[in-house]
Amino acid sequence: MSSSKSKVPAPVLLPRTTTWSPERVAALPQLLEVRQLLANAERLGETALAEICAAEITKRRREALKAPKPAGAKPKPKKAAVEA
């Protein structure tokens, strides 16, 4: 009995960074997702993707700091200490 199995070539593996563009990372709705992607990229040694994620995290933090605070977010005055 001869084995007539034909060998199928392995699929070509593209670098993971080709599927994650800066625009696609920016489209992630939550910062938590970008942080998770950064952790995965670092774990897998994908430095280009890790740099994209780090830049997006920095951008979102800066935007959050520039955003105006809601009107009701004023700090409450501290009450004077009551002496016994």
Looking at the domain assignment, is residue 6 inside a domain?
no
Domain that holds residue 49: 16-66
Residue-level pLDDT at 79: 75
- In angstroms, the CA 36 to CA 18 distance is 18
Looking at the domain assignment, is residue 79 inside a domain?
no
The residue-averaged pLDDT of 6-30 equals 81
Say if residue 13's pLDDT is above 90. no
- In angstroms, the CA 29 to CA 9 distance is 38
Looking at the domain assignment, is residue 36 inside a domain?
yes
Q: Residue 80 is encoded by which pair of tokens?
A: 């004077």
Are 57 and 38 in contact by the 8 Å Cβ rule? The answer is yes
Task: Enter the pTM of the model.
Answer: 0.62
Looking at the domain assignment, is residue 9 inside a domain?
no
Instruction: Name the more confident of 70 and 26.
Output: 26
pLDDT of 21-48, one tens digit each? Answer: 999 999 999 999 999 999 999 999 999 9
Looking at the domain assignment, is residue 39 inside a domain?
yes
Looking at the domain assignment, is residue 81 inside a domain?
no
- Split into its structural domains, the chain has a count of 1
